[in-house]
Amino acid sequence: MTNATSIASGNPSEEDRILDALVIGAGFAGLYQLYCLRERLGLSVQVLEAGAGVGGTWYWNRYPGARCDSESHSYCYSFSEELTREWQWSERYPGPAEILRYLNHVADRFDLKRDIRFNTRVTAAHYDQERNIWHVSTGSGDQLKARFLITAVGCLSSANVPKLPGLASFEGDWYHTGQWPHAGVDFSGKRVGQVGTGSTGIQAAPVIAETADHLTVFQRTANYSVPARNAPLTAEFQQYVKDNAAQIRELTRTNTNGHPFHISERLVSDTTPQERLALYEAAWERGGLQFRATFQDLLIDKTANDTAAQFIKNKIRSIVKDSATAAILADIDHPYAAKRPPIDTDYFETFNRDNVALVDLRATPIEEITPRGVRTSDKEYPLDIIVFATGFDAMTGPLLGIDIRGRNGLRLADAWQAGPRNYLGLQVAGFPNLFTITGPGSPSVLCNMPVAIEQHAEWITDCIAHMHNHDLQRIEPNPEAMDAWVEQVNAAADATLLPQATHSWYLGEHVPGKPRVFMPYAGGMLHYRRICDKVAANNYEGFELSK
Ligand code: NAP
């Protein structure tokens, strides 16, 4: 626990005011970081948020079919027993509207909004080494100063709109799923083209197909998906969550991925083909990300993985009636779950509808967008609306979208020219007092996000309290510790099949010019938590702390 001593800095006029901390972003991470620093340490904190409300990812991603793939009872904060007791989720997986209601409830309950400036996009953050403060500039011309700068910008918040020739000439409407109009989009009577078949596209297509006149799905890389089996939560389950909140919290905090289930200890080779089939069938029926937990070795042994891959490909062929379409959907080139595994509601079934067609971009790539639609190497597809479900400039994009400069004017973009380099995913050498919540090099996106976020926000809070208690003003990693961590991040990824999915946003593959580096830490949340705890217990070893 951190101590509750106030270390706020006086009460000078607004322009001279040096805040204790500035937090960028008011999603899950920014809200909790504000709560920790203000309520536990008594710091002066300001959160700057580009959106008009709280929510982060969920403020922007309101596309049709959007839904979280973590189960609702674990996709929430666990720091407050009262909060857990009073909130009730309605469905197995929460959609954006319910998550936004939850986050607004949290923000109101803990009176957080008074320290959040909405509609305020941070454009630059420059470190002033003489005064040991960060100068932060916003799009509206405001200048703020703070001793600590904490980014809570999300991992998937920088939309990747492909630079396709002719897009500006398109006479219809186009949207990126990560910047979805809050008023919604009416597809009725429209010919819609959807580019992209990741988690987002797989969720969106079935819902768009319900109202569109016609939907054409443009698939570049075929993808696995397992049924989500979303459903309303029963009163019994809702009661179970309240009665077992402490155990659920313990479970999510003490496993590899932060989800409320353990990965089986069984190896594929421990089972006969019949036993395997029965286990996969049961997991398919249960639905969700737990499918990945059927065996311990699915992500480390290609032969083991092939059995899961084959099972899902067979499912695709059995669901999709047109064999040519089924063949394109099942022509998957990477191990199962080496890309983030989507879960769906009737995705493959959607291709049995008369108003849905699939285009194989591997065979016939998009050449241009025309005023009328999409032209592939084969033909032109006339469209009224194009939906780009083309993902994000993940993990580094949101950070490099801000002009961040550290000591001696070092630009983060230059420090990370060959890919992200940091210590524990938390700090970068040359950028004192800058913390990056769920930054590259931390488990983040390989973990149930709220669990990863709480761990980072609490670690940062404890670190700042330690600095105060020891009269320390500056922290940054030493370069050797950073190099060693980068090696650990690479080694953790190489011990899995994850880097084998070459078209993966974990590797930054589909953003032109982005260095190809496996970004999240794949050694597991539990292991990572222990490393961070040990570093703190050993007097923040690997960091340089100074007055
Ligand atoms: P994504 O996984 O990166 O998928 C992007 C899709 O667009 C891929 O099919 C990609 O093809 C395609 N694409 C990109 N550029 C293209 C181009 N120029 N031409 C044609 N196709 C192109 O992005 P996402 O689906 O938005 O998902 C990102 C992550 O967000 C997920 O992995 C997940 O972590 C999170 N998410 C979670 C949920 C959930 O909780 N249920 C829902 C949605 C998203 P290639 O594969 O060939 O590059």
DSSP 306-362: HHHHHHHHHHHHHH-SSHHHHHHHT---S-TTTSPPPEESSHHHHTTSTTEEEEETT
Q: Nearest residue CA, atom 32 of ligand 1?
A: 340
Residue 4 has a pLDDT of: 34
Q: Nearest residue CA, atom 28 of ligand 1?
A: 391
- In three-state secondary structure terms, 481 is helix
Q: How confident is the model at residue 12 (pLDDT cuts 50, 70, 90)?
A: low
DSSP state of 433: T
Model confidence at 457: pLDDT above 70? yes
Q: Which residues line ligand 1 (CB under 6 A)?
A: 67-69, 156, 162, 195-201, 203, 220-221, 340, 361, 366, 389-392, 445, 503, 505, 510
| CA 7 to ligand 1 center in whole angstroms | 43
| Mutation test residue for ligand 1: of 72, 217, 362, 510, the one with most atoms within 8 Å of CB | 510
pLDDT tens track for 349-370:
999 999 999 999 999 999 999 9
Contact status, residue 398 vs residue 153, Cβ threshold 8 Å: yes
The phi and psi torsions of 186 (rounded to 5 degrees) equal -95, 115
> Which atom, in ligand 1's list, is nearest to the CA of 164?
18
Contact status, residue 541 vs residue 467, Cβ threshold 8 Å: no
The Cα-based distances of 276 to 224, 297, 319, 482 in angstroms read 18, 13, 20, 42
Residue 14 has a pLDDT of: 59
Residue 509 has a pLDDT of: 76
Model confidence at 165: pLDDT above 50? yes
pLDDT tens track for 92-139:
999 999 999 999 999 999 999 999 999 999 999 999 999 999 999 999
Find residue 147's DSSP bridge partners. none
Q: How confident is the model at residue 508 (pLDDT cuts 50, 70, 90)?
A: confident
Residues 6+ apart with CB under 8 A from 68: 75, 93, 94, 95, 99
Q: Nearest residue CA, atom 18 of ligand 1?
A: 162
The phi and psi torsions of 127 (rounded to 5 degrees) equal -85, 130
The phi and psi torsions of 301 (rounded to 5 degrees) equal -125, 115
Residue 9 has a pLDDT of: 45
Q: Which residues of 478-504 are buried (b: 16+ CB within 10 A; e: fewer)?
A: eeebbeebbebbbebbeebbbbebeeb
Residue 78 has a pLDDT of: 96
| CA 368 to ligand 1 center in whole angstroms | 20
Report pTM: 0.96
pLDDT tens track for 166-190:
999 999 999 999 999 999 999 999 9
Mean pLDDT on 43-67:
97
The Cα-based distances of 251 to 29, 55, 95, 232, 265 in angstroms read 21, 25, 23, 23, 16
Model confidence at 386: pLDDT above 50? yes
- Cα 471 → chain centroid: 35
| CA 160 to ligand 1 center in whole angstroms | 9
Model confidence at 6: pLDDT above 70? no
Mean pLDDT on 510-531:
93
Residue 16 has a pLDDT of: 78
Model confidence at 281: pLDDT above 70? yes
| CA 203 to ligand 1 center in whole angstroms | 11
| CA 391 to ligand 1 center in whole angstroms | 4
> Which atom, in ligand 1's list, is nearest to the CA of 366?
19
Residue 223's closest CA among 194, 205, 201?
201
Mean pLDDT on 538-542:
98
| Helix locations, 374-524, DSSP H | 397-400, 412-415, 449-469, 479-494
Model confidence at 3: pLDDT above 70? no
Residue 385's closest CA among 529, 238, 170?
170
Model confidence at 289: pLDDT above 90? yes
Mean pLDDT on 243-256:
94
Model confidence at 87: pLDDT above 90? yes
Give the chain's mean pLDDT. 95
Residue 503 has a pLDDT of: 85
| CA 321 to ligand 1 center in whole angstroms | 25
Model confidence at 15: pLDDT above 70? no
Kindly state the percentage of the chain with pLDDT values over 70: 97
